[in-house]
Structure formats: structure tokens, C-alpha cells
């Protein structure tokens, strides 16, 4: 396990370094003034590597640069936006898992029956429907027509205010969970279908285990293991989805900030946030792999 | 994942078996199931391998089947199901029957392809029959509900929605198809090289993919689009440059698995070079995966373009795509002009669903074939 851990941590460090290189590369594409602000005036005209190291030094000291339009440090904006996005994505992912896991297993067990086709059609439609169209339709029906929920996300500055404003929080969370369910359900169906085909399922049946026991103890448990990986790998995708939902519902989380900054050519904010998301996703994927190795010991040896 | 695990476990006992497996009493018992596998694996491998040359022939033969136009392109995917090579002089009726048989065997893919063909006809031939002005502004006609003269209503500039759907669809389909194909090619090359060569190069190439995947595509696109003016070629390149990563992972995994498969090892044992193994056995087998992936990549590119346009950072006016139409509709969200979002929203959905059906259908069809189920 320790060899696996060491190798995997080393990989994650390499990925994080590459993420910083990509972000710095994007910074180099942009106008010189933004670069001068982030690499220091002294290094602005030196070689790529020197600039990169100087910038990396600033980042490691917690300086992500200064935003232009709200004249504030990028880190201050980040501290305000991050909790909102975590609330939105956390709630949505939880709901998505609670719906997608049973749906995927039901589909796999009833493969090629009417139930499978019905759920499959639904996930196709969800999958194909862009989340901003879905959100717009939800706003039209539930906010503008029925007046059940608010058309905008919670605007309260505190996180407690966001959580208690369930009327405004419902539609953004619903939109993001529906979009995420589509991704998860397709994955769960194949994960469950794979474990149904495994020899241990046949072996369990041969030993005389009932269908219920086979499903709960063998199929469900084994198809839950890949979910850990799915979660780790979906972080960027879910955050990308959050960007769209936040922009539609005018909910000032990380995605909304990136979007506004992009529209205003406020590059330090876009890149600072991008860096945080990239590093966060790399760490998330590392944790998911460690979790997977704890749950399924075969992985530790297989990737040696 | 499970496939990798199983395959990782197979080679060792399999290699040990020809030598001294016999004397031990316990081992033949374990060796038995493994022995059965190479036998099964051989016919699997032979099928896709023989099918591939046929696919190319069917493609060339299409102009001859002029009666089959739309179904003809289905025939491209028909290869594996039909079997032996088709002579060019084969009579049209028999070829036609084969196509229908293949289409029946893959209903999901067939329906998906039919929807795509219909959409392309609608967008590219539609404007010839249904003339509209999508450049000038007609404020007196703005935001009209669907009715006489404007079957799908008008937008905030007074442009006819039905005509706009056709013109906008051209950009969506062009960028989607070009970016999706480009991404699949880039990703396949990257993944294949990484998987075949292995070692340190593989490790470095895959960490690059990991780093790229860690950053949400939308975010990278937003950065690039704020720096470069988003024209159609720029959008194609940028979307392709951010979406090849998943293909690279997929093709690498395929290459790694295929490399350790019994039929490839058997070729090596029989004295075949690694070039032969790669070209005649690995490449044709990975080709199915790549073809399936192209349709997912195109679907993804169509969605990505729509997202960019919806965020107000897509193609510049007067050019328009389906995402732009939704962006315009969202600006007046409180007025309840539902028709302005329903038409482009359904169009995007239809194309993405059709492409996903095509990809899933092909994968199931090819997969069932190669698994012998």
C-alpha cells in the first residue's frame, strides 16, 4: 500500500505542477499588464522559466493577483465565492448519487426491458439537454408561472443565509442535480452491468444465494466501488456545470465570478480561480484513488 | 477497470502453463479456465479484423448504390455484422437488403443516424426552400408568438425563428462535426503513442492529460475566447484542443489492454513482429472504439459551442448558432417568450441525443459482436 501511495502522491504532484504550467501558459497568452502584476515588474522581461518560477513563488505565498473591476485581491473574492459553490455542488452531487445509483442498478438488472428503455430514454434526454435550457424551463414553470420558487439563486452574503433561503436555492440545486444525474446514471448502469457479468455473481447464484442477496451483497457493493472514482473524476465536470447554473441563476459563486471576469477581460480573477479549481480537482482525484485502493486491494498491485 | 484487472491477471499463469504446469497437481486445475480463454479470444479477434477492410470497401462502393443514399452511410457501420468482403460488382438489390438487415440489427444507431441526416438536410437545404433575412433588424416584428407567417415566432430583433434555426444549425453542426472529429484524431494519436510506447513517455503523456482534465473545459475555453476573437475556425480549434483528453485516455487504455491480449502475444510467439501486431491486430481492434468515440466527441462539441454562445462568448454577430439563440432568449427571461428557447433548445437536444444513440448503438452492436453475445 505504501508503494502505491508514494507513486500516486508523486503523480498528483506532477499533475499539480502541470496545472500551474497550463495556467501560467494561459497567462502568457494574455496582455502584458496582467503578467507584470503577477510576476513582478523585475521579472516581466526575463525568460519564461524565470517568470514562471517568480509567479509560482507569488502563488505559494498566497498571492493570486488583484482583480480590476471590483478592486480587491483575488483571494478575497475566492473566500466569498468558494463556500457558495461548495453548497451548490455538494447538495447537487448528493441528490444526484441518491437518484442515479438505484436507477443504474435497476436498469442493469432489468437490462433490455421496458423499465431499462424508459430510464434510458430519460437519461438520454437529460444528457442531451444543456443545463441552461433545463434551468430556463424550470424557471419558466416553477418561478414565473407557478411562483413556487425564486427565479434567482440566494443573494445573501453569508453561508447561513444561503442555506436557509431554500426558496431561492431549490431551482439551482435541482438544475445541477438533474444535469449530474444524467452523467452518473449512465456510468452506474454500466458499472452494475459489469459486476452482474462477473464470475462471483454466477458463483453466488451457484451456491444458492437468493436474488436479493446477490443484488445487495455482490452487485450493489461492487458497483459502488467505481463510484468513488467517478466522484473524483467528476469534480471538474461538476464545477463546469456549476458555472453554467450559477450564471443562469445569477448566483455569485466561483463559476459566476469566472464568467463575469471573462466578460470583463479580468484575467487575474479567471486564472486565479482556474488554478484553485485545477489543484482542487487533482487532489480530489488523488483522494478518490486512495479510497479506491482501500476498498479494492487488487488496484494496489495491478498498477505496480 | 475490471477488464484491466482481469487481463493483468491472465498472462502470468498463461505463460507458465506450456512449461512445467503439467507435473503439479494443483495447477492444471487453475490453468484450465485460462486455457479456455485463448480459444475464445481467437475468433473474437478475427471478426473485427476481417470486418475492417470491408468497411473501407463499403464506403467506396456507396456511389454505386445511388438508390441507397441515406441508408448507404449506415452501411459504413454495417461492416462487422455482415461479414466477408463485398465485391464491387455485387448487385444493388442484394446490397440494399444487407443494409436493411444491418440497420435492423442496430436499431438505436439507425434511429440516431436518421435523425442526424434529417437535421443536416433541414439546416443546409432548408434555407433554399424557406427564405428569411437573418441579418437585418425588424423591430416592428420583434417577439411575435408563433403564428401565420412565422411558424416558430420571431426573436427580439424580429428575425424569423424557423429560418434562424436553419442558419444557426449550420454553424452548430459544422463546428460540432469538425471539432469533434479533430478532437478524436488528436486524442487517438496521443493515446495510441502513449499506450504502445509505454514507460516514462507514457507516464509523462498521461500526466499531461490528467492536468488538462483537472481544469473544467468551460473555464479554459472562457480564457482563450477572451484573448482571441471567436470566429468559426478559432472555435473549432479551441474546442478540439480542450476535448481530446478523454479520447486519449480511452485509446491508451485500449492499446494497453490489446497489447497484453492473448492473440497479440500469440502472434509474437509465432514470430510476428511488433509492427504486424500493432497494424493488423491492435489498430483494427481499437478502430471500433475510436469510431464510437467520434460520435460522442461531436455531441460534446455541439454542447460546448452552445455553452460558449449561451455565456455570450461564442461566435460573433451577424453569424449565429443555436446557443446564440438561447443567449438572446435568456436576456428577456422574465417576459416569458417560451418559443425563443424551445426551438433551439430542442434542436440541440435532438442532435446530442441522436449522436449519443448512434455512439451507444454502435458500441453495443460492435461489442456484442466481439464478445460473441
In whole angstroms, give the CA distance from residue B246 to residue B209.
8
Q: Do A136 and B1 touch (CB under 8 A)?
A: no
Calculate how close chain B gets to A237, using CA atoms only, in Å: 6
Query: Residue B200 half-sphere exposure, CB side, CA atoms within 13 Å?
Result: 0
Average pLDDT over residues A221-236: 80
Q: Does B2 touch chain A (CB under 8 A)?
A: yes
Is residue A75 pLDDT above 70, yes or no? yes
Give the single-character DSSP code of B145.
P
Q: Do B345 and A11 touch (CB under 8 A)?
A: no
For chain B, what percent of residues have pLDDT higher than 70? 68
Q: Do B227 and A128 touch (CB under 8 A)?
A: no
pLDDT at position B228: 79
Which of A26, A27, A183, A262 to probe the B interface (max B CBs under 10 A)?
A: A262
Average pLDDT over residues B207-231: 84
Is residue B215 pLDDT above 60, yes or no? yes
- Residues present in chain B in total: 373
Kindly tell me the burial class for residue B318, based on how many C-beta atoms sit within 10 Å of its own C-beta (0-12, 13-18, 19 or more). Answer: exposed
Contacts for B369 with CB less than 8 Å, ≥ 6 apart:
B47, B48, B80, B81
| Phi, psi (deg, nearest 5) at residue B147 | 180, -165
Nearest-by-CA chain A residue for B3:
A194
pLDDT at position A74: 78
Strand partners, B150: B147
Contact between residue A272 and residue A64 where contact means Cβ atoms under 8 Å apart: yes
| pLDDT bracket for residue B178 (50, 70, 90) | very high
Helix A32-39 to helix A267-295 angle, to the nearest 10 degrees? Answer: 60
Q: Do B222 and A262 touch (CB under 8 A)?
A: yes
| Ramachandran quadrant class, B372 (left: phi over 0; alpha: psi -120 to 50; beta: rest) | left
In whole angstroms, give the CA distance from residue B173 to residue B120.
8
pLDDT at position B182: 92
Kindly tell me the burial class for residue B78, based on how many C-beta atoms sit within 10 Å of its own C-beta (0-12, 13-18, 19 or more). Answer: buried
Q: Do B349 and A21 touch (CB under 8 A)?
A: no
Helix B26-61 to helix B11-20 angle, to the nearest 10 degrees? Answer: 120
- pLDDT digits over A92-140, tens only? 889 988 888 888 888 877 777 787 778 777 777 777 778 888 888 888 8
Query: A16 to chain B: which residues are within 8 Å by CB?
Result: 211
CA angle B237, A234, A170 (to 5 degrees): 110
Q: Which of B214, B225, B334 sits opposite A19 (nearest CB)?
A: B214
CA angle B138, B142, B146 (to 5 degrees): 120
Contact between residue A175 and residue A247 where contact means Cβ atoms under 8 Å apart: no
Chain A contacts in chain B segment 38-97 (CB below 8 A) = none
CA angle B283, B287, B289 (to 5 degrees): 125
- pLDDT digits over B74-129, tens only? 334 433 444 444 555 556 777 777 777 777 777 778 888 888 888 888 888 877 77
Calculate how close chain A gets to B300, using CA atoms only, in Å: 9
Annotate A39-92 with DSSP letters as a single string.
H-GGGTTS-HHHHHHHHHHHHHTT---B-SSS-SBHHHHHHHHHHHHHHHHHHH
Average pLDDT over residues B3-8: 40
Is residue B63 pLDDT above 70, yes or no? no
Q: Do A128 and B353 touch (CB under 8 A)?
A: yes
Is residue B57 pLDDT above 70, yes or no? no
Nearest-by-CA chain B residue for A298:
B5
pLDDT at position A301: 61
Strand partners, A66: A73
Place of cell 452501411: B75
Average pLDDT over residues B235-264: 83
Which of A112, A122, A132 to probe the B interface (max B CBs under 10 A)?
A: A132
pLDDT at position A56: 82
For chain A, give the mean pLDDT: 79
Which of B210, B219, B356 to probe the A interface (max A CBs under 10 A)?
A: B219
pLDDT at position B279: 65
Which of A120, A124, A126, A241 to probe the B interface (max B CBs under 10 A)?
A: A124
For chain A, what percent of residues have pLDDT higher than 70? 90
Report cis status (omega within 30 of 0) of the bond before B214.
Answer: no
Give the single-character DSSP code of B160.
B
pLDDT at position B33: 42
Nearest-by-CA chain A residue for B312:
A263
Quote the pTM value.
0.74
Contacts for A83 with CB less than 8 Å, ≥ 6 apart:
A159, A162
Lowest mean per-residue pLDDT among A159-163, A280-284, B245-249, B263-267: A159-163
Calculate how close chain A gets to B47, using CA atoms only, in Å: 22
- pLDDT digits over B290-330, tens only? 888 888 889 889 888 888 888 888 787 777 888 888 888 87
Contact between residue B38 and residue B270 where contact means Cβ atoms under 8 Å apart: no
pLDDT at position B346: 87
Q: Give the residue ranges of DSSP H helices in B125-216.
A: 126-129, 161-197, 199-214
ipTM for this prediction: 0.80
Place of cell 467506396: B60
Q: Do B312 and A263 touch (CB under 8 A)?
A: yes
Calculate how close chain B gets to A25, using CA atoms only, in Å: 11
B71: cell is 441508408
Q: Which of A263-272, B324-333, B347-356 has the highest mean pLDDT?
A: B347-356
Query: B328 to chain A: which residues are within 8 Å by CB?
Result: none
Is residue A198 pLDDT above 70, yes or no? yes
Q: Do A240 and B217 touch (CB under 8 A)?
A: yes
Calculate how close chain B gets to A281, using CA atoms only, in Å: 5
Nearest-by-CA chain A residue for B351:
A128
Q: Do A243 and B8 touch (CB under 8 A)?
A: no
In whole angstroms, give the CA distance from residue B220 to residue A274.
8
Query: A278 to chain B: which residues are within 8 Å by CB?
Result: 211, 214-215
Is residue B35 pLDDT above 70, yes or no? no
Query: B220 to chain A: which residues are within 8 Å by CB?
Result: 22, 26, 274
Comparison of pLDDT for B160 and A280, the residue scoring more: A280
Q: Does B329 touch chain A (CB under 8 A)?
A: yes
Three-state SS for A16? Answer: helix
| pLDDT bracket for residue B179 (50, 70, 90) | very high
State the SS3 of B62-90.
Answer: HHHCHHHHHHHHHHHHHHHHHCCCCCCCC
A57: cell is 513563488
Q: Does B349 touch chain A (CB under 8 A)?
A: yes
Give the single-character DSSP code of B47.
H
Three-state SS for A160? Answer: helix
Contact between residue B232 and residue B168 where contact means Cβ atoms under 8 Å apart: no
For chain B, give the mean pLDDT: 70
Q: Which of A107-121, A228-242, B15-29, B324-338 has the highest mean pLDDT?
A: A228-242
Amino acid at each position: 500500500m505504501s508503494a502505491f501511495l508514494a507513486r500516486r502522491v508523486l503523480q498528483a504532484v506532477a499533475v499539480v505542477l502541470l496545472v500551474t504550467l497550463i495556467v501560467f501558459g494561459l497567462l502568457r497568452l494574455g496582455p502584458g499588464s496582467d503578467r507584470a502584476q503577477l510576476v513582478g515588474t523585475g521579472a516581466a522581461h526575463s525568460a519564461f522559466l524565470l517568470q514562471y518560477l517568480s509567479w509560482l513563488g507569488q502563488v505559494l505565498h498566497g498571492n493570486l493577483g488583484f482583480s480590476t473591476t471590483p478592486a480587491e485581491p483575488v483571494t478575497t473574492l475566492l473566500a466569498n465565492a468558494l463556500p457558495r459553490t461548495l453548497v451548490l455542488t455538494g447538495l447537487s452531487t448528493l441528490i444526484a448519487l441518491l437518484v442515479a445509483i438505484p436507477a443504474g442498478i435497476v436498469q442493469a438488472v432489468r437490462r433490455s426491458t421496458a423499465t431499462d428503455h424508459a430510464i434510458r430514454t430519460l437519461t438520454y434526454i437529460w444528457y442531451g439537454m444543456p443545463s441552461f435550457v433545463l434551468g430556463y424551463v424550470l424557471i419558466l414553470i416553477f418561478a414565473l408561472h407557478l411562483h413556487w420558487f425564486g427565479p434567482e439563486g440566494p443573494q445573501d452574503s453569508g453561508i447561513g443565509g444561503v442555506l436557509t433561503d431554500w426558496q431561492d436555492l431549490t431551482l439551482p440545486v435541482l438544475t445541477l442535480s438533474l444535469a449530474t444525474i444524467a452523467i452518473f446514471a449512465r456510468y452506474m448502469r454500466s458499472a452494475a452491468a459489469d459486476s452482474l457479468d462477473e464470475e462471483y455473481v454466477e458463483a453466488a447464484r451457484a451456491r444458492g444465494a437468493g436474488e436479493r442477496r446477490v443484488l445487495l451483497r455482490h452487485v450493489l457493493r461492487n458497483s459502488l466501488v467505481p463510484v468513488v472514482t467517478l466522484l473524483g473524476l467528476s469534480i471538474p465536470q461538476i464545477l463546469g456545470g456549476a458555472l453554467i447554473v450559477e450564471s443562469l441563476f445569477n448566483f455569485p459563486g466561483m463559476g459566476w465570478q469566472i464568467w463575469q471576469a471573462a466578460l470583463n477581460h479580468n484575467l487575474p480573477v479567471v486564472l486565479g480561480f482556474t488554478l484553485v479549481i485545477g489543484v482542487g480537482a487533482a487532489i480530489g482525484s488523488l483522494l478518490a484513488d486512495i479510497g479506491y485502493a482501500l476498498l479494492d486491494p487488487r488496484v494496489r498491485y495491478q498498477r505496480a | 477497470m475490471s477488464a484491466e484487472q482481469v487481463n493483468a491477471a491472465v498472462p502470468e499463469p498463461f505463460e507458465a502453463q506450456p512449461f512445467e504446469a503439467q507435473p503439479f497437481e494443483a495447477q492444471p486445475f487453475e490453468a484450465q479456465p485460462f486455457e479456455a480463454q485463448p480459444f475464445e479470444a481467437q475468433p473474437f479477434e478475427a471478426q473485427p479484423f476481417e470486418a475492417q477492410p470491408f468497411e473501407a470497401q463499403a464506403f467506396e462502393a456507396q456511389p454505386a448504390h445511388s438508390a441507397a443514399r441515406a441508408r448507404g452511410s449506415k452501411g459504413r457501420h454495417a461492416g462487422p455484422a455482415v461479414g466477408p468482403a463485398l465485391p464491387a460488382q455485387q448487385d444493388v438489390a442484394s446490397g440494399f437488403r444487407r443494409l436493411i438487415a444491418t440497420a435492423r440489427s442496430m436499431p438505436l444507431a439507425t434511429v440516431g443516424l436518421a435523425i442526424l441526416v434529417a437535421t443536416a438536410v433541414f439546416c443546409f437545404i432548408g434555407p433554399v426552400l424557406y427564405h428569411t433575412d437573418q441579418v437585418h433588424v425588424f423591430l416592428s416584428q420583434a417577439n411575435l408568438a408563433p403564428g401565420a407567417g412565422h411558424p416558430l415566432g420571431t426573436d427580439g430583433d424580429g428575425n424569423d425563428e424557423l429560418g434562424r434555426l436553419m442558419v444557426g444549425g449550420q454553424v452548430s453542426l459544422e463546428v460540432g462535426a469538425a471539432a469533434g472529429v479533430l478532437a478524436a484524431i488528436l486524442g487517438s494519436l496521443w493515446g495510441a503513442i502513449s499506450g504502445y510506447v509505454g514507460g516514462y513517455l507514457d507516464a509523462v503523456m498521461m500526466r499531461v492529460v490528467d492536468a488538462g482534465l483537472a481544469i473544467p473545459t468551460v473555464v479554459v475555453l472562457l480564457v482563450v475566447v477572451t484573448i482571441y476573437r471567436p470566429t468559426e475556425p478559432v472555435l473549432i480549434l479551441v474546442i478540439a484542443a480542450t476535448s481530446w483528453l478523454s479520447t486519449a485516455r480511452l485509446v491508451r487504455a485500449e492499446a494497453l489492454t490489446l497489447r497484453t491480449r492473448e492473440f497479440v502475444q500469440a502472434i509474437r510467439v509465432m514470430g510476428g513482429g511488433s509492427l504486424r501486431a500493432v497494424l493488423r491486430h491492435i489498430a483494427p481492434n481499437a478502430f471500433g472504439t475510436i469510431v464510437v468515440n467520434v460520435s460522442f466527441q461531436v455531441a460534446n462539441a455541439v454542447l460546448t459551442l452552445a455553452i460558449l454562445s449561451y455565456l455570450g462568448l461564442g461566435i460573433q454577430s451577424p453569424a449565429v448558432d443555436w446557443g446564440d439563440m438561447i443567449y438572446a432568449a435568456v436576456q428577456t427571461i422574465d417576459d416569458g417568450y417560451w418559443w425563443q428557447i424551445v426551438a433551439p433548445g430542442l434542436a440541440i437536444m435532438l442532435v446530442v441525443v441522436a449522436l449519443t444513440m448512434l455512439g451507444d448503438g454502435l458500441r453495443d452492436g460492435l461489442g456484442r459482436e466481439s464478445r460473441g453475445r
